[in-house]
A and B are shown apart, each in its own frame.
Chain A
Amino acid sequence: AAGVIQSPRHLIKEKRETATLKCYPIPRHDTVYWYQQGPGQDPQFLISFYEKMQSDKGSIPDRFSAQQFSDYHSELNMSSLELGDSALYFCASSFTAGGPSAETQYFGPGTRLLVL
């Protein structure tokens, strides 16, 4: 079965640079979530989109922005990168219009970002 695709899988950036992470949800899924997992930490919710509109916002820094496109893929844009942004960034998708199954989020393999 098709899974959530994230690219790139690994990314190395310098401080103050920008980065763009991409997420391709499972086909027919209409909702995308972004999470950040620091070293040895639990995942923290950043932001989510439903039908291309922002549906919820968590602890996303102002330096970060995201959007969901007409094909439902999403991009997380990160500017003025800091050392503390080094983390694993997960994207998850769900089918919100699908009743109880909508509560299941399927996670991608993550993008590991290292800021030097």
Chain B
Amino acid sequence: AQSVTQLGSHVSVSEGALVLLRCNYSSSVPPYLFWYVQYPNQGLQLLLKYTSAATLVKGINGFEAEFKKSETSFHLTKPSAHMSDAAEYFCAVSGGRDTGRRALTFGSGTRLQVQP
């Protein structure tokens, strides 16, 4: 079974400050990891993904995440927050091709607020 835990249901930062959203995973097989963003009343947009290639993954809108197997973590960062980053962020895991289980298991989400 796979699961993800997102630490902090709400994170508030000032515009221009560092964004750090935490995600820890549990998986019995090498995981595939994803970060999605959801704006109000909209669908889920892929920010970035880790599929066993480079451990430092760069995504859209200046976000990046680092896969750390020793810490079972996949934290999302952005050096400088922008007002438009305010949204709900979901970390997700799948078993990928090796297991045939491609369905995503999501964390509970982190709502990011950006203060002017």
Contact = CB atoms under 8 A, between A and B. Distances in A.
Nearest to B90: A42
B102 A96 contact: yes
Interface of B: 32, 34, 36, 42-46, 49, 51, 53, 90, 94, 96-97, 100-109
Contacts of B102: 31, 33, 48, 55-56, 94, 96, 102-103, 105
A43 B44 contact: yes
Nearest to A4: B43
Contacts of B51: 100, 103
Nearest to A34: B103
13 contacts: A42-B90, A42-B107, A42-B108, A42-B109, A43-B44, A43-B90, A43-B106, A45-B103, A45-B104, A48-B102, A56-B100, A103-B94, A103-B97
B104 A105 contact: yes
B49 A104 contact: yes
B25 to A, nearest CB: 14
A96 B105 CA distance: 18
Interface string A42-68: 111100100000011010000000000
A4 B45 CA distance: 11
A71 B49 CA distance: 28
Nearest to A102: B97
Contacts of A100: 51, 53
Contacts of B90: 42-43
A35 B46 CA distance: 15
Contacts of A102: 97, 102
Contact of A109 (B42, B53, B94, B108): B42
